[in-house]
Chain A
Amino acid sequence: MDFTIKTMAEYAAEGKSPEVLFWVGCAGSFDDRAKKITRAFCKILNKINVEFAVLGPEESCTGDPAKRAGNEFVFQMMALTNIEILNAYDVKKIVTACPHCFNTIKNEYPNLGGNYEVIHHTQFLKQLMEEGRLKIEGGSFKGKKITFHDPCYLGRGNNEYEAPRMLLEKLDAELVEMKRCRTNGLCCGAGGAQMFKEPEKGDKDINVERTEEALAETPNIIATGCPFCNTMMTDGIKHFNKNTEVEVKDIVELLAEAEDL
């Protein structure tokens, strides 16, 4: 990165607090593909001078995969550890690029003592755009066809269907919807801790089914808003040998590209 990413600890040492805490998440921290999403998002925030911090080594898994696998012990261990740290820094607002982190911190932490304003990165960027702080000129996407895959934990899980679409509409591309979208969207196959195991026996893998549906719209780009969806759809286009023709990109990567960041 050509600018420094500051941690909460550093802000605290200066006796200041940032506008927002960026919750990076495990995928965003460690997965090579997802790290690109993390950096793209930081570049946008940096460009428009949003003061943000990360927890860095003080961040732990939110506990989402453990909880959905049925392990409430490990989930709450993570949750209570995280809440202790977030509360110690007196965090008010959290943004994250992972719908699973978003859902867990937003819905399941309050009852354990963690109360924050939690928003998904697409919601945050939409807010910034409405406030006039973020301007998007998506001219470079003219003539391209984009289809958006709704992440279950953002869409059905939390009823957010519009923020990602609003951002995509700014890109001057043609936005096409898949047959199953919004409330009817089909899961990519990663949720509920499925990401970490082989699927049960069946006729095909879920990500293959979903990618097939996306490819039926002949898009140039499949847009995602979740690092796990991103992996699943990327594997999907490889399955169909379409990885040279179709790109799988997170919405913030597309925005960063539009801004030439």
Chain B
Amino acid sequence: MQYIDNIIFLIALVVGFGLFFRSLKEIYRNIKLGRPIDRTDRPGDRWRTMAKVAMGQSKMGKRPIAAILHLFVYVGFVIINIELLEIIIDGIFGTHRFLAGIMGDSFYGFFTATLEVLALLVIVAVVIFFIRRNFYGVKRLTMKELFGWPKQDANWILIIEFALMTAFFTMNASDWVLQQRNVLAAHGSFPVSSNLLAPLFSGLGDGTLTFLERGAWWFHFLGILFFMNYLYYSKHLHIILAFPNTWYANLEPKGKFKNLASVTAEIKLMMDPNADPYAAQPDADPNAVPEKFGANDIFDLNQVQLLNAYSCTECGRCTAVCPANITGKKLSPRKIMMDTRDRVEEVAKVINKNGKWEDDGRKLLDDHIQREEIWACTTCNACVEACPVLIDPLSIIMEMRRFLVMEQSAAPQELNLMMTNVENNAAPWQYNQADRLNWAKD
């Protein structure tokens, strides 16, 4: 029976990681529901962008307080993962503080001390984040599109992180007291827990302390597994997806919108004076599905746009700078991203249930995103500029406009007038093209 711990540990480990990889696979499958897009050009620039924006957090600097707190949590998270490595080794082989043997006592002391300081900073950050989000009223964090799950999600994450860090300190403090009493071999240095927590523990017996140490160790381990699997349901997926998302980001100038190639062929034919308008196109494939212009559902969006939706952290920086939103219009670029992810999840549920996609009679446009939102955008790119993980809400808005105009002729009346003018008079107003040089005569 002496290996029972190790066996339970192994099972938890395998189940935890197994479920996690299953979620990742499902996300991958869902992203593949979008149209393919080639974003593999300029790999050098892409790696650089990822290093700068995702690893270097370069876009966070605009809001220094949030940036510093976020940095604490981020660095803390990275380092905790190294500690997870030790937990896994200890758990499988039944060792205690395995890394001490590899690192040597003085370096291990430095390592554990660093972890403690970072864990304390994480606690500080998490507490401030919690207060800021719930009581302080930062507008972008308290808007009504966050009511319900998004708000709970954000709070849960903060609570889980707080609990994990508390367990970490409990573990270290009891360990340290036991080390002082020579019950455990002395490894590591614990500046935070030996000073803050250990005095509370010094009255406890060896058995209780051992129980506390083990309990916290298990809590910490199982907590991390839980957290990992919670990600799939959470905006916190960004801690993983921010990396591919920044890699696949648009590197072209933001003002440059894509030209639809299918339209080009048609217009060239129209404009060619020698073309016989009644002749069948030579390479026309009789079975070809006519291409749909723009998007009214996630299947018409491209894979990067769906990846964007999963990467969105719901921070609302985009919405906070959106001129339409600032002036009280319905448009919120964050909501566009949240709606897109919700719709992907809706579709995924159907696929999981039926084994394949069957039309559920719902669409991203109209059932999630309203036309009023789509028409309020000034295409100013403020949202794109603001996003810390390089998400492009504007590209989704544009695809929906294309759908409304080219598939449904459902533009607002004034825009129809403008487009007719452009078509007939080569200007958005009703002026005569022949008068284009009249300004030179005044």
Contact = CB atoms under 8 A, between A and B. Distances in A.
A39 B439 contact: yes
**DSSP majority for the B interface?**
helix
Contact of B263 (A4, A26, A72, A183): A72
A186 B422 contact: no
Interface string B317-331: 000010110111111
A59 B435 CA distance: 11
B376 interface: yes
Nearest to B412: A197
Contact of A57 (B266, B329, B429, B437): B437
Given A76-B263, A180-B321, 12 more contacts: A61-B422, A65-B419, A68-B398, A72-B402, A76-B267, A78-B422, A157-B256, A186-B321, A187-B380, A189-B378, A192-B378, A199-B329
A123 B377 CA distance: 28
A80 B268 contact: yes
B224 to A, nearest CB: 38
Contacts of A107: 252-253, 255-257
Contacts of B268: 80
Contacts of B435: 29-30, 57
Contacts of B352: none
Interface string A51-78: 0001111011101011111111110111
A187 B378 CA distance: 8
**Which of B260, B385, B411, B439 neighbours the largest number of chain A CB atoms within 10 Å of its CB?**
B439
B259 interface: yes
B211 interface: no
A210 to B, nearest CB: 8
A29 B405 contact: no
A200 B324 contact: yes
Contacts of B321: 180, 184, 186
B356 interface: no
B382 A35 contact: no
Contacts of B404: 70
B276 interface: no
A135 interface: no
Contacts of A28: 439
Interface in A2-45: 4-5, 7, 24, 26, 28-30, 35, 38-39, 42
Nearest to A154: B255
B58 interface: no
B442 A209 contact: no
B145 to A, nearest CB: 16
A202 interface: yes
B442 A72 contact: no
Interface string A80-114: 11001000000000000000000100011001100
A108 B376 contact: no
Given A157-B381, A184-B321, A70 B398 contact: yes
